[in-house]
Amino acid sequence: LHPGCEFLFPQAPTMFAKCSQNSVSPVVLLVLLGFLLCPPAQASKSSEDIRCKCICPPYRNISGHIYNKNVSQKDCNCLHVVEPMPVPGNDVEAYCLLCECKYEERSTTTIKVIIIIYLSVVGALLLYMAFLVLVDPLIRKPDPYTQPLHNEEESEDTRSLATVPTPAGARANTVLERVEGAQQRWKRQVQEQRKTVFDRHKMLS
Amino acid sequence: MVNAGDMNGSGNLMDFLDEPFPDVGTYEDFHTIDWLREKSRDTDRHRKITSKSKESIWEFIKSLLDAWSGWVVMLLIGLLAGTLAGVIDLAVDWMTDLKEGVCLSAFWYSHEQCCWTSNETTFDDRDKCPQWQKWSELLVSQSEGASAYILNYFLYIMWALCFAFLAVSLVRVFAPYACGSGIPEIKTILSGFIIRGYLGKWTLLIKTVTLVLVVSSGLSLGKEGPLVHVACCCGNFFSSLFSKYSKNEGKRREVLSAAAAAGVSVAFGAPIGGVLFSLEEVSYYFPLKTLWRSFFAALVAAFTLRSINPFGNSRLVLFYVEYHTPWYMAELFPFILLGVFGGLWGTLFIRCNIAWCRRRKTTRLGKYPVLEVIVITAITAIIAYPNPYTRRSTSELISELFNDCGALESSQLCDYINDPNMTRPVDDIPDRPAGPGVYSAMWQLALALVFKIVITIFTFGMKIPSGLFIPSMAVGAMAGRMVGIGVEQLAYHHHDWIIFRNWCRPGADCVTPGLYAMVGAAACLGGVTRMTVSLVVIMFELTGGLEYIVPLMAAAVTSKWVADAFGKEGIYEAHIHLNGYPFLDVKDEFTHRTLATDVMRPRRGEAPLSVLTQDSMTVEDVETLIKETDYNGFPVVVSKDSERLIGFAQRRELILAIKNARQRQDGVVSNSIVYFTEDPPELPPNSPHPLKLRRILNLSPFTVTDHTPMETVVDIFRKLGLRQCLVTHSGRLLGIITKKDVLRHMAQMANQDPESIMFN
């Protein structure tokens, strides 16, 4: 669980602990994805969502052709779909043996919803990334108290001592300050991960 | 407030009434868990619930909910993993086509979806329709000619670079743990290692989003390994909602094993193969209960993916093929050759990739991850565009290579010379001579094969999500198809040779090149990952052809033998060794004759073991000891003179307990005596209040004698999942062996002759 959760809610085996801004947004997005996909999966099929596709290769002097028709699965065979039949009646069976008919269905609403959700997630991440990289350093004054702490971050003991939750009396922060604190903690975590992976190459080669 | 207490006697009662120390039982980042302790905690919890369930109906219902929570977690994991896989498949489909053109009627349609309802498709141009236009058509209204080609080429490269740059930036800014395949780290996590944040929510989100971007950018990588990571993140997320799994690291790893099975299941559409993959490759301890639950999770995931129906034909994987033409005994020879090729390629790939990754770790190359991704993407896009077999996505390439040529195929690979009077049905076309299209296709495939072999070495391991199943299968499929076409033409033109005479008559359909492609894909995948049973099951679930099990097995076995002759490690174990993760492999055999004294610490000449005494150290002494050393735990002995072992105390718990005591308990100061016994020691009057720490002491640490052979010690570490083991002699504590010492010793021994006797 997000360490911020243990800090803010030490007695929390709650199901959906909305701990911090940064763990809400991915959770909300994931849940949204899950629930938004259930209706499209059962959406009624519009006429452009099913088809029977018959591909017939060249035969004697007739060139190849593709036939599409909007029929149900039991009618998806050469006799129902290939219209007009290019060969006379006694050749129909030989011609139809060569044709291959497939029944296909798709859900256009699913595709539309998924692509649009995906693009909005990417857009939101892009905006947040632009904010973090460009705007955030400008509006935050560098805090003199956080600088010495960076050196001590290497020591595990101070870190482990720092994660012991303070007694309940000191929790007099407003919601905004708590969110700020959680975001700072998340940024520190990501920075630590970045150091491990990109700088020290300790993990993930 | 806790009254620290009655000095005389009611020690056990006060232990239960004490407030539990906070954070006792959780582990530090990059540490190994204690499997035995997790198992005993789970048994305690279960016993408590069972005993309470007899009290009231509500308690009984709670015990039922606890029992079912495992299945609920599996269900949720399957649903989310299937959903995410469906999202990834649909988005990849669309974005891959975005590099070449756009659908004018609705921009969210890929090429195939755009032309779905069109009536203007003809047999020869079955891919073209007016609603979908290439970029050159859209921008300069030209679809043929040199300028159109160059414009399309340029825009293809631009889109690929844009996607790759976006992916690596997102990974770098939001979730650096989302890069790589994920399977080596998940193997290490499942063996008991803690990597905080590796299975977190941000990693899940970024990995899903960037996986789509990198697969669409045309890089030579796959999405199967990252899908396992995504599924394990889902598993971690859902297990944190239930305290049964969130508080117990051992139980959580059972859930993660099942989640890994669900991941492979949606990647390949192979639920059984997924369970076997989790059993064989990923998991460390796999109790039978997990087998059934993994299967359930894999099925739910496969079913969810099927209902999203990303490929429009109710199949789970793009390259599902379904022919049933038989194969012949004489064809085993080319299949075995393909197995040898797969083994050789696997060895080559592992050696080159590890060398390149080691370069990246140690030299200046590793300082420019974003630039590296951009350069590799540019090279891939520039070389891939001219060759039609590398221009399209690798999954489509594999699908085309696996498919048999009927009369309806329009690709160059199926440009056989047809008999115009032929009236055979679609799936029984006899062998035909190759037309010019087939020859040019063979050249292009050969070039594509060389290109893929080279570029995958540099692509796997970059700082973007990258998998390796699809590129390996592509390499194998290309080699297999070429061999298959060769054998087919050989059989057609020389059908009177002895080999072919018995089973291949003219006019019969003897050789199926698509089957050779499948066998080649299985051989290459087996050569790289060294999978055995799970590979065969995945391949036959992919194809639905039970009659092809024998060729697949022959190729897989051959490739494993050939590859094992050159090196024992698969790609994932090689990456684990490269990164130095503390992973004690169950497949390694330890055959050296060293003893526990040779490995234990302290060695001769080192400082003596740092121990705690049972009742003669003060709080200040303990704190000094903790500050001066960085050991994970300290043995507790009776006294410095008689070093008889009492138990073992963990560093983290000592720190927390002392800190807690200083804050909460009255009278505990630096001069207070710390005691680990039941009753406090005899103290002079006016001495400060003693601190009882028996609660955090592990009274049953594992011990071996100094003459225990290391073979046994390694076995104990592997089978029980120990972190450390104490070495005693005649009951006196001599030293300690930790898991890292065992691993270092095994590495050291691997460079030496196994018969040499080590007594130092």
DSSP label of B681: P
Inter-chain residue contact B124 with A64, CB threshold 8 Å: yes
Shared domain for B600 and B556, answered yes or no, is no
Quick one: which of B443, B490, B305, B464 has its CA closest to B375? B464
Shared domain for B678 and B540, answered yes or no, is no
Q: Where are the alpha helices (DSSP H) in B595-682?
A: 596-599, 619-628, 651-664
* CATH code of B356's domain: 1.10.3080.10
Q: Are B551 and B515 in contact (CB under 8 A)?
A: yes
Shared domain for B622 and B735, answered yes or no, is yes
Contacts B177 to A, Cβ<8 Å: 193, 197, 203-204
Query: With 70 as the cut, is the pLDDT of residue A143 above it?
Result: no
Q: HEC states along chain A? A: CCHHHHHHCCCCCCCCCCCCHHHHHHHHHHHHHHHHHHHHHCCCCCHHHEEEEEEECCECCECCEEEEECCCHHHCCHHHHCCCCCCCHHHHHHHHHHCEEEEEECCHHHHHHHHHHHHHHHHHHHHHHHHHHHHHHHHCCCCCCHHHHHHHCCCHHHHHHHCCCCCHHHCCCCHHHHHHHHHHHHHHHHHHHHHHHHHCCCCCC
Q: Are A165 and A7 in contact (CB under 8 A)?
A: yes
Inter-chain residue contact A161 with B655, CB threshold 8 Å: yes
Helix pair B513-529, B394-402: axis angle to 10 deg? 130
At A47, the pLDDT band (50, 70, 90 cuts) reads: low
CA B74-B78-B80 angle, to 5 degrees, is 120
Q: What is the dihedral of CA B371, B373, B379, B385, to 10 degrees?
A: -130
Helix (H, G, I), strand (E, B), or coil: what is residue B650?
A: strand
User: Judging by DSSP bridges, how do beta strands B724-729 and B703-705 pair with one another?
Assistant: parallel
Measured on CA atoms in the order A132, A134, A138, A142, is the torsion positive or negative? Answer: positive
Query: With 90 as the cut, is the pLDDT of residue B694 above it?
Result: no
Q: Are B8 and B169 in contact (CB under 8 A)?
A: no
Q: Are A66 and A52 in contact (CB under 8 A)?
A: no
pLDDT, tens digit, 9 for 90 and up, residues B141-171: 877 888 889 999 999 999 999 999 999 999 9
Highest-confidence range of A154-163, B17-26, B577-586, by mean pLDDT?
A: B577-586
The answer to whether residue B626 is domain-embedded is: yes
Quick one: which of B613, B610, B619, B697 has its CA closest to B658? B619
Q: Which residue of A has its CA nearest to B582?
A: A203
Inter-chain residue contact B626 with A190, CB threshold 8 Å: no
Q: How far apart are CA B585 and CA B580, in angstroms?
A: 13
Percent share of chain B, pLDDT over 70: 91
For chain A, the distance separating the N- and C-terminal CA atoms, rounded to the nearest angstrom, is 26
Inter-chain residue contact A106 with B309, CB threshold 8 Å: yes
Inter-chain residue contact A56 with B123, CB threshold 8 Å: yes
Percent share of chain B, pLDDT over 90: 44
Helix (H, G, I), strand (E, B), or coil: what is residue B441?
A: helix
Q: Are A57 and B407 in contact (CB under 8 A)?
A: yes
Inter-chain residue contact B361 with A111, CB threshold 8 Å: no
DSSP β-bridge partners for residue B457 = none
DSSP label of B193: B
**pLDDT higher for B228 or B285?**
B228
The answer to whether residue B535 is domain-embedded is: yes
State residue B614's pLDDT score. Answer: 86
The answer to whether residue B224 is domain-embedded is: no
Q: How far is A142 from chain B (nearest CA, A)?
A: 19
Q: Which residue of A has its CA nearest to B651?
A: A157
Query: With 60 as the cut, is the pLDDT of residue B2 above it?
Result: no
Inter-chain residue contact A164 with B463, CB threshold 8 Å: no
Query: Quick one: average pLDDT of B483-490?
Result: 90
At B21, the pLDDT band (50, 70, 90 cuts) reads: very low
Shared domain for B510 and B411, answered yes or no, is yes
Q: Are B193 and B583 in contact (CB under 8 A)?
A: yes
Q: How far apart are CA B742 and CA B727, in angstroms?
A: 13
Q: How far apart are CA A41 and CA B597, in angstroms?
A: 64
Contacts B123 to A, Cβ<8 Å: 55-58, 63-66
Helix (H, G, I), strand (E, B), or coil: what is residue B686?
A: coil
Q: Are A6 and A24 in contact (CB under 8 A)?
A: no
The token pair at B604 is 């001769």
Q: Are A51 and A69 in contact (CB under 8 A)?
A: yes
The answer to whether residue B213 is domain-embedded is: no
Query: Quick one: average pLDDT of B208-217?
Result: 95
Domain-terminating residue out of B174, B207, B222 = B174
Measured on CA atoms in the order B285, B289, B290, B291, is the torsion positive or negative? Answer: positive
State residue A26's pLDDT score. Answer: 55
Q: How far is A144 from chain B (nearest CA, A)?
A: 24
Contacts A58 to B, Cβ<8 Å: 123
The answer to whether residue B83 is domain-embedded is: no
Shared domain for B568 and B605, answered yes or no, is no
DSSP label of B635: E
Q: Mean pLDDT score of chain B, rounded to an integer?
A: 86
The answer to whether residue B226 is domain-embedded is: no
Number of separate domains in chain B: 3
A89-93, B78-82, B733-737, B756-760: least confidently modelled range: B756-760
Helix (H, G, I), strand (E, B), or coil: what is residue B620?
A: helix
Q: How far apart are CA B443 and CA B612, in angstroms?
A: 73
Helix (H, G, I), strand (E, B), or coil: what is residue B393?
A: coil
Highest-confidence range of A50-59, B616-625, B746-755, by mean pLDDT?
A: B616-625
**pLDDT higher for A19 or A71?**
A71
**pLDDT higher for A126 or A20?**
A126
Instruction: Tell the residue number behind the tokens 């083991």, with chain if given.
Output: B725
CB pairs under 8 A between A and B: 191
Q: How far is B173 from chain A (nearest CA, A)?
A: 7
DSSP β-bridge partners for residue B637 = B613, B645
Distances (CA, A) of B489 to B190, B417, B430, B445: 49, 12, 12, 17
Domain-terminating residue out of B537, B572, B607 = B572
Q: Are B583 and B744 in contact (CB under 8 A)?
A: no
Q: Are A58 and A81 in contact (CB under 8 A)?
A: no
The answer to whether residue B159 is domain-embedded is: yes
Task: Provide the residue count of chain A.
Answer: 205
Residue range(s) defining the domain that contains residue B169:
97-174
List phi, psi (to 5°) of B446.
-60, -45
Shared domain for B411 and B505, answered yes or no, is yes
Minimum-distance CB partner of B209 among A55, A121, A165: A121
Q: Mean pLDDT score of chain A, rounded to an integer?
A: 70
Q: How far apart are CA B590 and CA B419, in angstroms?
A: 63
Q: How far apart are CA B582 and CA B561, in angstroms?
A: 27
Highest-confidence range of A25-29, B418-422, B697-701, by mean pLDDT?
A: B697-701
Shared domain for B381 and B504, answered yes or no, is yes
The token pair at A33 is 């994805």
Minimum-distance CB partner of A100 among B180, B206, B408: B408
Query: With 80 as the cut, is the pLDDT of residue B352 above it?
Result: yes
The token pair at B131 is 């609603």
Shared domain for B342 and B491, answered yes or no, is yes
* B539: enclosing H helix or E strand: helix B533-543
**pLDDT higher for B214 or B509?**
B214
Query: With 80 as the cut, is the pLDDT of residue B660 above it?
Result: yes
Quick one: which of B691, B705, B698 has its CA closest to B632? B698
* CATH code of B609's domain: 3.10.580.20
Inter-chain residue contact A41 with B307, CB threshold 8 Å: yes
The answer to whether residue B740 is domain-embedded is: yes
pLDDT, tens digit, 9 for 90 and up, residues B103-134: 888 888 888 888 887 776 677 677 778 888 88
Q: How far is B122 from chain A (nearest CA, A)?
A: 6
Helix (H, G, I), strand (E, B), or coil: what is residue B533?
A: helix
Inter-chain residue contact A114 with B201, CB threshold 8 Å: no
Q: How far apart are CA A28 and CA A25, in angstroms?
A: 5
DSSP β-bridge partners for residue B123 = none
Q: Are B346 and B523 in contact (CB under 8 A)?
A: no
Quick one: which of B183, B193, B197 has its CA closest to B282? B183
State residue B422's pLDDT score. Answer: 59
Query: With 90 as the cut, is the pLDDT of residue B577 above it?
Result: no
The token pair at A153 is 């971050």
pLDDT, tens digit, 9 for 90 and up, residues B597-640: 888 888 888 888 888 888 888 888 888 999 988 888 899 999 88
Contacts A60 to B, Cβ<8 Å: 420
Inter-chain residue contact A110 with B123, CB threshold 8 Å: no
Task: Provide the residue count of chain B.
Answer: 760
Contacts A198 to B, Cβ<8 Å: 172, 176, 366, 369, 463
Q: How far apart are CA B202 and CA A198, in angstroms?
A: 17
Shared domain for B535 and B611, answered yes or no, is no
Q: Is B642 left (phi over 0), alpha (psi -120 to 50) or beta?
A: beta
Q: How far apart are CA B304 and CA B234, in angstroms?
A: 15
CA atoms within 13 A on the CB side of B65: 9
pLDDT, tens digit, 9 for 90 and up, residues B353-394: 999 999 888 888 888 999 999 999 999 999 999 998 999 889
**pLDDT higher for B67 or B750?**
B67
At B495, the pLDDT band (50, 70, 90 cuts) reads: confident
Domain-terminating residue out of B122, B156, B174 = B174
State residue A140's pLDDT score. Answer: 73
Inter-chain residue contact B205 with A29, CB threshold 8 Å: yes
Shared domain for B557 and B632, answered yes or no, is no
Q: Where are the alpha helices (DSSP H) in B639-702?
A: 651-664
Shared domain for B562 and B635, answered yes or no, is no
Distances (CA, A) of B725 to B30, B193, B733, B734: 19, 17, 11, 11
Contacts B121 to A, Cβ<8 Å: 66
Query: With 70 as the cut, is the pLDDT of residue B286 above it?
Result: yes
Q: Are B170 and A194 in contact (CB under 8 A)?
A: no
Measured on CA atoms in the order A146, A152, A158, A160, is the torsion positive or negative? Answer: positive
Shared domain for B475 and B344, answered yes or no, is yes
